[in-house]
Amino acid sequence: MLKKIEMNDAQVSLSKTWLGSDCTPYAYNNAGIIWYWRLHYSGVPVKSSTKLNPNQLAQLDQLR
């Protein structure tokens, strides 16, 4: 199992440009999965994830 890497402020700011301002990313892994919180239309935050492309993963790793 791949370990989640907690994101720092620089990584969060960068990944918000990919995910949108309504998302709050908090972790990713070396396989390129990023996890984030997004507000549901009801106002309740829900967890979600998506796959990063190799370039995005490399950018996050550079900011570690």
Domain locations in the chain? 5-62
Per-residue pLDDT at 64? 93
Confidence (pLDDT) at 29: 97
13-63 per-position pLDDT tens digit = 999 999 988 899 999 999 999 999 998 889 899 999 999 999 999 999 999
Task: Give the 3-state secondary structure of residue 38.
Answer: strand
Using a 10 angstrom Cβ sphere, with 0-12 exposed, 13-18 middle and 19 or more buried, the burial of residue 29 is: middle
pTM of the complete model beyond 0.85: yes
Give me the half-sphere count of Cα atoms (radius 13 Å) on the Cβ side of residue 40: 6
Enumerate helices (H) and strands (E) in the chain, giving the number of each.
2, 4
**Residue 37: predicted pLDDT:** 97
Q: What is the DSSP string of 3-22?
A: PPEEP-HHHHHHHHHHH-TT
